[in-house]
Amino acid sequence: MIHWWNGVEPQAHLAGMQELNLEIKRRFEAQRIEFAYPTQTVHLKTRS
């Protein structure tokens, strides 16, 4: 997602980002859309 922020105050930017992210989360939850969590599989080679 790309967004534009016109303000110059860092605190206002962080507050705006928090509000945006929470609204996205609420809308996804309302539609029962889930985020996939990144996974990683590690294969260990053992000595035979």
Residue 43: give the domain boundaries. 7-48
- Structural domain contains residue 25: yes
Please state the domain count of the chain.
1
Helical spans, DSSP H, in the chain: 10-30
Give the model's pLDDT for residue 7.
83
Task: Put residue 30 in one of left, alpha, beta given phi > 0 → left and psi -120 to 50 → alpha.
Answer: alpha
- Structural domain contains residue 2: no
- Summarised one tens digit per residue, pLDDT across range 26-47 is 999 999 998 888 888 888 888 8
Whether 31 contacts 39, CB under 8 Å: no
Query: DSSP code of 44?
Result: P
- Structural domain contains residue 45: yes
**Total-model pTM:** 0.62
- Structural domain contains residue 1: no
| Section 20-31 average pLDDT | 94
pLDDT band at 24 (very low <50, low <70, confident <90, very high): very high
